[in-house]
Amino acid sequence: MPFPQTRMRRLRATRQLRGLVRETRLSPQDLVYPMFVAHGVDRREPIDAMPGIDHLSIAHAVTEAGEAKALGIPAVLLFGLPAAKDEEGSGAWDDEGIVQLATQAIKEAHPDVLVITDLCLCEYTSHGHCGVVREDGSVDNDATLELLARAATSQARAGADVIAPSDMMDGRVGFIRAALDDDGHTDTPILAYSAKFASAFYGPFREAAGSAPAFGDRRSYQMDPANGDEALREARLDVEEGADIVMVKPALPYLDLIRRIKDETKIPLAAYNVSGEYAMVKAAAAAGQLDERVAVLEILTGIRRAGADFVITYHAKDAARWLQ
Ligand code: PBG
């Protein structure tokens, strides 16, 4: 008898068997849908850099949240475009601010939609930086923490289910945790943007949020794409400070870190498939160079396989439809 030949094909030959031995599952339940809510007239306005994604009035955001829920997507992530921006970014902690009002409206119409609020100042500051800017143009880490804490408690009071600080100031998770606890929101979890890289892939988002820095860049507070060990340190610090979920962002150039951080921390992990990653797929699909459906499902499955428990993605609604 010759030694039996090992044939990998045997497991792949029939569809049902492929399904049984599949290691990674992707379902609408694994997705979070980000939305841009804007002050002003009741309409939706396309965002040029992100085909298929619009600026939404509160009423439209409520509709979209309901649609996402109907498709099996459990959560939305809210970004706000305030009526006016100022030096401090005061729109971020205005109890009548855009994210606060949108959160209330969504929770009222769809109590079972989980509302995650992005917590940062860059959408609210006239200079577009994520924190308080000093005379010399640098960002004042500790002064920023006070403002973030105000914004976090305001979002929680509005009914946000999860607070997601995306600013990358040092010590913000612990500071925000203490502020939430003091304000009575001991049960509101923090989803920390822990490993957030200074990335070219946020370009379309900055157009959408009007948050491109007016001067300088974000390299003093966002991470160097070359540094993996540092991402692990960032994640560990956030966990020590009380983060309930950690995030890696963007997703595709950092799949190795999704895996490393997941293995190391064993904490629930989110990956953010960001605006530039979305825009690339949309552009290639529009040019007939990619099959959008197959490409998107492959990307999202890959991010899950790397170790993400869930994926924040602008593809969420399309993907959920394809997965039905
Ligand atoms: C705010 C923030 C950004 C993104 C999420 N929160 C932009 C940035 O850091 O410039 C980017 C999300 C995306 O590109 O989809 N700090």
Question: Ligand 1 centre and the CA of 106: distance in Å?
Answer: 22
The rounded Å distance from CA 296 to ligand 1 centre is 20
Which residues, including other chains, have CB under 8 Å from residue 140's CB and lie 6 or more apart?
131, 132, 133, 134
Of 205, 272, 303, 311, the residue with max ligand 1 atoms within 8 A of its CB, to mutate for a pocket test, comes to 205
Total residue count of the chain as it appears in this document: 324
Tokens of 305: 């396989």
Question: E strand or H helix at 255, and its extent?
Answer: helix 255-265
* 3-state SS assignment for residue 78: strand
Ligand 1 atom with minimal separation from the 205 CA:
14
Q: How far is the CA of 247 from the centre of ligand 1 (A)?
A: 12
Structural contact between residues 290 and 43, judged by C-beta atoms closer than 8 angstroms: no
Does the CB atom of residue 314 touch ligand 1 within 6 A? no
Which tokens is 266 given? 């064993």
- Cβ of 118 below 6 Å from ligand 1: yes
Q: What is the pLDDT of residue 1?
A: 62
Nearest to 299 by CA among 251, 246, 247: 251
At 104 the pLDDT is: 98
Please report, rounded to a whole number, the percentage of residues in the chain having pLDDT higher than 70: 99
Topology classification of domain 24-323: TIM Barrel (3.20.20)
> At a CB cut-off of 8 Å and minimum separation 6, what does 261 contact?
194, 195, 231, 232, 235, 246, 248, 269, 307
The whole-number pLDDT of residue 219 equals 86
Cβ of residue 122 lying under 6 Å from some atom of ligand 1? yes
Closest Cα to atom 14, ligand 1: which residue? Answer: 202
DSSP state of 76: E
- Dig out the tokens for 116 from the structure: 């995650």
Those residues whose C-beta lies under 8 Å from the C-beta of residue 3, and which sit 6 or more positions away, are none
Q: pLDDT digits over 176-216, tens only?
A: 999 999 999 999 999 999 999 999 999 999 988 888 888 88
pLDDT digits (tens, 9 = 90+) for 213-237: 888 888 888 999 999 999 999 999 9
User: How do the domains of the chain map onto residue ranges?
Assistant: 24-323
Active-site residue numbers?
196, 249
Contacts of residue 180, defined as CB under 8 A and 6 or more positions apart, other chains included, come to 152, 153, 156, 163, 186, 188, 190
Q: What pLDDT, on the 0 to 100 scale, is given for residue 43?
A: 84
Q: How far away, in angstroms, is 49 Cα from ligand 1 center? A: 14
Band of pLDDT at residue 69, cut at 50, 70 and 90: very high
Task: Answer whether 310 contacts ligand 1 (Cβ < 6 A).
Answer: no
How far is 164 from 263, CA to CA, in rounded Å? 22
Q: What is the pLDDT of residues 40-67, one digit of tens each?
A: 878 899 999 999 999 999 999 999 999 9
Structure tokens at 45: 């306005």
Based on the number of CB atoms within 10 Å of its own CB, is 197 exposed (0-12), middle (13-18) or buried (19 or more)?
Answer: buried
Residue 202 CA to ligand 1 center (angstroms) comes to 6
Establish whether residue 133 lines the binding site of ligand 1, counting it when its CB lies within 6 angstroms of any ligand atom.
no
Choice from 166, 222, 282, 311 to test ligand 1 binding pocket (greatest atom count within 8 A of CB): 166
Ligand 1 center to 19 CA (angstroms): 36
* End-to-end alpha carbon distance in the chain: 48
CA 317 to chain centre: 15
Token readout for 98 is 């855009």
Which residue from 53, 13, 49, 14 is spatially nearest to 37, judged by alpha carbons?
Answer: 53
Q: Whose CA is nearest to atom 7 of ligand 1?
A: 202
DSSP-assigned beta bridge partners for residue 35 = 78
**Hey, whose CA ends up nearest to atom 2 of ligand 1?**
166
Site to probe by mutation for ligand 1, drawn from 202, 252, 272 as the one with most ligand atoms within 8 Å of Cβ, is 202
pLDDT digits (tens, 9 = 90+) for 127-158: 999 999 998 888 999 999 999 999 999 999 99
Per-chain mean pLDDT for the chain? 95
Q: What is the pLDDT of residues 270-316, one digit of tens each?
A: 999 999 999 999 999 999 999 999 999 999 999 999 999 999 999 99
